[in-house]
Amino acid sequence: MSSQTLEQFLNENLEDLRGKGLYNVIDPLESPNGPVIKINGRELINLSSNNYLGLATDERLKKAAEQAIEKYGVGAGAVRTINGTLELHVKLEEKLAEFKGTEAAIAYQSGFNCNMAAISAVMDKNDAILSDELNHASIIDGCRLSRAKIIRYNHSDMEDLRAKAKEARESGLYKKLMVITDGVFSMDGDIALLPEIVEIAEEFDLMTYVDDAHGSGVLGKGAGTVKHFGLQDKIDFQIGTLSKAIGVVGGYVAGKQNLIDWLKVRSRPFLFSTSLTPADVAASIQSIEILTESTELNERLWENGNYLKKGLKELGFNIGDSETPITPCIIGEEKLTQQFSKRLNEEGVYAKSIVFPTVPAGTGRVRNMPTAAHTKEMLDKAISIYEKVGKEMGVIN
Ligand SMILES: *Cc1c(COP(=O)(O)O)cnc(C)c1O
């Protein structure tokens, strides 16, 4: 094989991406990531954040973070297992277990880290993992890291899952089997069929693993997809993030005490990466307290989600089959989708286009994430901009 230098590799690949118009240019915000954001001096209605409940800019969270910095400083100083566990981390984990209805919980530096941590702490090369084909990238990477056999099943196709679980179990090739799914799928907003998944798991003795990054704070009156179905006793691993609806940063695994005990001695991001900062932990605790005490923000999120969906649908847009506030607006062809998102931006709406290979070819979409912090006026304005751009580009009549 002919050799290649770093310079050659980068030039070749960057040119290729730029030539195809696929090189993602990042727009820095000049404001908080609230319902209206400022980019290049322009104010835009923001339909692209995961700040579902508006808590990322909540005064109560900011106050909690400030107080934690005053008391504990800005850094935790060490990994959790040396002396980077502050009393605040313990309190957060107790709150998370209560919030999720499990015996215990363990916090990590991100949701991405949770999947790196938890899957490979339990699964190895003698095992197999049944994984929904639309699972998040961090689940895919976590599975690869474990070196278990990865068996993909068609998206939410329970017949396919059952057949593959049966085959894996009867083959006698694997010691442990696990099924992994997102709780809510982020591109379409559909909900995993957890009752059916649990039934199949019981039949073929599979461990169950649900990554509820987009379900927590959203479904089950805020407690998530597992609670939504009342399956707290049936799911072995409940993964969550503190970075989306909770509004801060971090992630967690909730489950039985012995699982959490094991993760504390065997999961590598817990052992080898410095723990969450005092400010992040204190703000997350405050956030969970708000969610536990009141469903007001959760209700407003659903109201706004339904309002936006109704508005776009009445205009004739294809908004797919979302069952959550995530509102895809399916445009179709890739270039047209990118152009549509660009025109929305010029008119005052920030909503990102998502195209192949993130979603199947020909199903390019602009994904809208309404939050509890949007007002009806903001949503009305966004809908009228959608109407203008949709008519102009011939997407609607
Ligand atoms: C966003 C997301 C993550 C990553 O969470 P972070 O806290 O942002 O690292 C993991 N899993 C799923 C399903 C997600 O949607």
**Phi, psi angles (nearest 5°) of residue 231:** -110, 25
329 Cβ contact partners less than 8 Å away, ≥ 6 residues apart? 312, 317, 318, 319, 351, 365, 366, 367, 368, 386
Among this protein's residues, is 244 annotated catalytic?
yes
Residues 112, 247 within the same domain: yes
Residues 159, 64 within the same domain: yes
- Which residue's alpha carbon is nearest to atom 1 within ligand 1? 213
Domain that holds residue 206: 57-293
Residues 289, 299 within the same domain: no
Is residue 110 within 6 Å of ligand 1 at its C-beta? yes
> Could you tell me if residue 14 is inside a domain?
no
Residues 249, 332 within the same domain: no
pLDDT tens readout for residues 87-142: 999 999 999 999 999 999 999 999 999 999 999 999 999 999 999 999 999 999 99
Query: Residue 241 CA: which ligand 1 atom is closest?
Result: 7
In the three-class reduction of DSSP (H, G, I as helix; E, B as strand; rest coil), residue 112 is classed as helix
Residues 124, 181 within the same domain: yes
Residues 377, 264 within the same domain: no
Exposed e or buried b per residue across 325-352, where buried means at least 16 C-beta atoms within 10 angstroms of its C-beta: bbbbbbbeebebbbebbebbbebebbbb
Domain final position from 293, 328, 344: 293
pTM (2 d.p.): 0.96
Q: Tokens for 280? A: 């992040």
For position 96, which CATH number holds?
3.40.640.10
> Could you tell me if residue 223 is inside a domain?
yes
Pocket test for ligand 1, best of 113, 136, 139 (most atoms within 8 A of CB): 136
Residues 216, 326 within the same domain: no
Is residue 51 within 6 Å of ligand 1 at its C-beta? no
Spatial contact of 285 and 93, defined as CB atoms under 8 Å apart: no
- Which residue's alpha carbon is nearest to atom 12 within ligand 1? 213
Among this protein's residues, is 136 annotated catalytic?
no
Residues 281, 331 within the same domain: no
> Could you tell me if residue 362 is inside a domain?
yes
Q: For 174, what's the count of Cα atoms within 13 Å in the CB-facing half-sphere?
A: 27
- Looking at residue 373, what DSSP letter applies? T
Pocket test for ligand 1, best of 138, 216, 249 (most atoms within 8 A of CB): 138
pLDDT tens readout for residues 231-256: 999 999 999 999 999 999 999 999 99
Residues 94, 124 within the same domain: yes
Is residue 135 within 6 Å of ligand 1 at its C-beta? no
What is the pLDDT at residue 20?
A: 77
> Could you tell me if residue 9 is inside a domain?
no
For position 32, which CATH number holds?
3.90.1150.10
What type of residue is 93? E
Query: Residue 242 CA: which ligand 1 atom is closest?
Result: 7
Residues 352, 388 within the same domain: yes
**Phi, psi angles (nearest 5°) of residue 296:** -60, -50
Q: Tokens for 227? A: 């609670």
**Phi, psi angles (nearest 5°) of residue 292:** -75, -35
Distance in Å, CA 88 to ligand 1 centroid: 23
Distance in Å, CA 118 to ligand 1 centroid: 14
Number of domains in the chain: 2
String of DSSP letters for 92-159: HHHHHHHHHTSSEEEEES-HHHHHHHHHHHH--TT-EEEEETT--HHHHHHHHHHTPEEEEE-TT-HH
What is the pLDDT at residue 382?
A: 98
Among this protein's residues, is 287 annotated catalytic?
no
Task: Looking at 255-295, list the stretches that DSSP marks H as alpha helix, in order from N- to C-terminal side.
Answer: 257-266, 268-272, 278-293
The span from the CA of 209 to the CA of 46, in Å, is: 32
Domain final position from 268, 293, 318: 293
Residues 90, 207 within the same domain: yes
Q: How confident is the model at residue 22 (pLDDT cuts 50, 70, 90)?
A: confident
